[in-house]
Structure 1
Amino acid sequence: MTTTASTIAQHTTGADAAHDRRITVALFAAGLTTFASMYNAQALLPSLSAAFGATPARAALAVSLTTGCLALAIVPVSALSSRIGRTRVMIGSAAAAAVIGLLIPFSPSLDALLAGRAVQGIALAGVPAVAMAYLAEEIGGEGLGAAMGVYVAGTTIGGLAGRLIPSFTLDVASWRWAAAAVGVAAAACTVWFVRLLPPSRGFVARPAGVRTVLGDLGQQLRHRQLLALFGLAFVLMGGFVSIYNFLGYRLTQHPFELPAAVAGSVFLLYLAGTVTSAWGGRLADRVGRQRMLTASMAVMGVGLALSLPDRLGCVVAGVLLYTAGFFAAHTVASAWVGTLARGNRGAASSLYLFFYYLGSAVVGGLSGLAFAHAGWAGLVGAVGALLAAGAILFAVATIRPGDVVRSS
């Protein structure tokens, strides 16, 4: 009897491990397709400016409108997933975004392209709105940090591919062919994701009306630590997207004047984020989230300062450090939100991502004004101010409610 029970337990454990691995790989593929679609326009911005006679700030709307519409869709899509299931929402989202991505290269004007990117942002919302809650429900426990790290690694590789594929294509073809190339790649990753994703085991439907949804959101917003982490997501993501929105302009203009393909290769620095997102999640499980987040933000600050001199080596090294620190910080903060959430964990995750992508849209767009008026130094100053605000928000997030009571 004991031997039989032991054999069954081992089989169950092995099946659970295989199930968890399949989930992790599927979410890796979801990160690839979602973020390749989301940020491929970043590599096209100088070409869009040239093709349509647009200023850098107007061309950057191809990124800001996507992330802004995604931010607005995060909460309703998350609520929908609580009703009909996480997997159905993620699959529908990835498929719709892939189809729109294949149509965007045929845009007859910049306005049409911007409209398409806005609609694609709404379609893209399903994966980021649901992924964190899905992982917490299906894996949870000690493995959550590592699984979250693999998902975030998929988003970094997707973001990298979404930038590199059009960058290299631009060396031999127009922006339309560059957009088409990344659209096909994203569609292929979508098929991979859909084929791998297993049915949910931990999902419990929560049919909810508007009042219930607002109540769940209000419960999370009344949690001071969560509110601080939401603000942290806004400022860190806003600064990060700002750097990459205008990095291409800096590298293709004086004093560097690099060809588009060479300038685009700087997006290989995203690989630093791939490493630190997976590594940061595991390390945070061992040394603690607060220490890991402190170190990550310090690395971001050093990288930002290092990118200031007009020396290519300094710019590359600085952006490398900034990227590495950002993705480690994002991995830690997103997992932290899942552990602090009260009641509906999906509501907390959706609010985190709402502020995350709202920062991308708002700051990523407005930072173009700083770049237009004061160049890279002005942009670095603006992002540095955001990083300082993030440090204050992090300090607030580390104070537990009991500490406030004892100190008063």
Structure 2
Amino acid sequence: MLTGKWRNVALLTFCEVLAMTLWFSGSAIIPGLRQEMILSDSQAAAMASAVSFGFVAGTLTSAFFTLVDRVKPQTLFMFSALTAAAANLATLSIDPAGPWMPVLRFIVGACMAGVYPVGMVLISSWTEKDRGFLVGLLVAALTLGSGAPHLIDLFGGLDWRFTIIASSAMAAVAGLLCQLFEPGRPFSKAAAFKPGLMLQALTDPALRLANFGYFGHMVELYAVWAWIGLFLASSLAMYPGGDSAPELAKLLAFTMIGSGAAGSIAGGFLADRIGRTRLTIGAMAISGLCCIFAGFAFGMPTYVLVILCVVWGTSIIADSAQFSASVIELSPPAYVGTMVTTQTCIGFVLTIATIHAVPYLVDWFGWSGAFVPLAAGPFLGVLAMARLRAMPASMKLAHGRR
């Protein structure tokens, strides 16, 4: 029988998985849309990046109006999930190649600012000495939910409408179920958002390095997640027996993103024991190498792609939660809200640029070289976190610089 803590943690994790299926539902349906209509790379990129645009806008709005303090977190989660589900479902009534598609995806992204960050607030009410593990668990839920549309799309065949309906229904269920969540202790007042202090995220030496580590991580993460399905489909189609490439690509895309769930949990567990800097350095080094090795794996037998997907998927997200935790621990308490918001917003702005860059990289280098330039992000992130580890300020991090 689950205790009150783990019953509520399990409930919240389940809700996050269901709600986050909306994030990549647009990317997952691109192959199906291309079976029915002409969809350019720029239109496909706009569908993916509009969610990031929306998330930045939603995060800034939530922080500026301190919505978590003004609205019960469970209610904010429910409203956000239901609104996002409605916007996602509305894509069935428009031309997917038209101008309204990015608008609806923007709304989905804006509402996700009331799902994932609010989930962090909810789970924090149960944290004790296991912050890294529980935050890693929530990131695992985000990761599994993000990959789920590829699996849903597999069951729906080439009918992209099935994926839209299923992900919308799952998000709506998540919003309603979240009302059953009971906090472990009263929610603490959110740290005030002070736009005038945003520059400190880049001028304070320790915060700057922690943020640069996160930015390097984000240069790679969402661009890879957004385009991995097409990369895999193109690779599998080159190999003998490529007739089943579309279906197998969906399964491998889910495997790649879904592997990150295990990586997030393991990352949180290890960060609580070996330190945040060691964990982030190791994870980014592996994922950066995978950006390079992906080119060698392109067109290779399926088992090579499976290995790449598992290793890359596990490492690419294992460090994500630890960057936020690092900024929280390095910031003065009164500035935490501003520092976390600044980190998140700049990071997602970078994802917009790299999501749009990948189609151009494909044109220039082909899929065998498209992900290689993205390796610069995690490698620069490694340097930033290594420098942070050498600073006295790193002793403020949980477990210090170990």
Q: TM-score range by the shorter chain?
A: 0.7 to 0.9
Q: CA deviation at 1:149?
A: 1.4
Q: CA deviation at 1:154?
A: 0.8
Aligned to 2:141: 154
Q: 1:381 aligns with which of 356, 372, 375?
A: 372
Q: How does 1:340-351 map to 2 (within 5 A)?
A: 340-342=330-332, 343-351=334-342
Q: CA deviation at 1:290?
A: 1.7
Identity level (%): 20
Distance across 1 between alignment mates of 2:19 and 2:182: 15
Q: Deviations over 1:156-185 (max 9, x none)?
A: 1111212210233134xx222321122212
Q: CA deviation at 1:325?
A: 0.8
- Taking structure 2 as the reference length, the TM-score comes to 0.85
Distance across 2 between alignment mates of 1:86 and 1:221: 32
SS at match of 2:321: helix
Q: How does 1:14-25 map to 2 (within 5 A)?
A: 18=3, 20-25=5-10
Residues paired across the two proteins, number: 380
Distance across 2 between alignment mates of 1:289 and 1:314: 31
Distance across 2 between alignment mates of 1:104 and 1:154: 25
Q: 1:248 aligns with which of 206, 221, 229?
A: 229
Distance across 1 between alignment mates of 2:202 and 2:121: 17
Q: Does 1:95 align with 2:82?
A: yes
Code of the residue aligned with 1:91 in structure 2: it is: M
Q: Deviations over 1:37-71 (max 9, x none)?
A: 11122211222334331222321221111112212
Do the aligned partners of residues 98 and 271 (structure 1) sit closer, same or farther apart at CA in structure 2, a change above 3 Å counting? same
Do the aligned partners of residues 293 and 89 (structure 1) sit closer, same or farther apart at CA in structure 2, a change above 3 Å counting? same
Distance across 1 between alignment mates of 2:326 and 2:287: 19
Do the aligned partners of residues 147 and 64 (structure 1) sit closer, same or farther apart at CA in structure 2, a change above 3 Å counting? same
Aligned to 2:389: 398
Q: How does 1:75-224 map to 2 (within 5 A)?
A: 75-79=60-64, 80-81=66-67, 83-85=69-71, 87=73, 88-110=75-97, 111-136=99-124, 138-171=125-158, 174-198=159-183, 201-204=186-189, 213-224=194-205
Unaligned 5+ residue runs, structure 1? 1-16, 404-408
SS at match of 2:189: coil
CA contact (8 A) 2:256 2:309 kept: yes
CA contact (8 A) 2:80 2:111 kept: yes
Distance across 1 between alignment mates of 2:220 and 2:213: 11
CA contact (8 A) 2:144 2:257 kept: yes
Q: CA deviation at 1:345?
A: 2.5
Q: 2:327 aligns with which of 337, 341, 344?
A: 337
SS at match of 2:328: helix
Do the aligned partners of residues 291 and 109 (structure 1) sit closer, same or farther apart at CA in structure 2, a change above 3 Å counting? closer
Code of the residue aligned with 1:372 in structure 2: it is: D
Distance across 1 between alignment mates of 2:184 and 2:197: 25
CA contact (8 A) 1:153 1:274 kept: yes
Code of the residue aligned with 1:260 in structure 2: it is: P
Code of the residue aligned with 1:28 in structure 2: it is: T
Aligned to 2:399: none
Distance across 2 between alignment mates of 1:194 and 1:360: 32
CA contact (8 A) 1:303 1:317 kept: no
Distance across 1 between alignment mates of 2:275 and 2:178: 31
CA contact (8 A) 1:304 1:318 kept: no
Q: 1:264 aligns with which of 250, 258, 262?
A: 250
Q: How does 1:36-55 map to 2 (within 5 A)?
A: 36-55=21-40
Distance across 2 between alignment mates of 1:298 and 1:232: 12
CA contact (8 A) 1:156 1:273 kept: yes
Aligned to 1:304: 291
- Taking structure 1 as the reference length, the TM-score comes to 0.84
Q: Deviations over 1:240-290 (max 9, x none)?
A: 222233332233334144432221001123332111211211111111112
Larger-Rg structure: 1
Aligned to 1:14: none
Do the aligned partners of residues 373 and 194 (structure 1) sit closer, same or farther apart at CA in structure 2, a change above 3 Å counting? farther
Distance across 1 between alignment mates of 2:387 and 2:260: 26
Unaligned 5+ residue runs, structure 2? 395-402
SS at match of 1:308: helix
Q: 1:315 aligns with which of 301, 305, 308?
A: 305
Distance across 2 between alignment mates of 1:295 and 1:398: 13
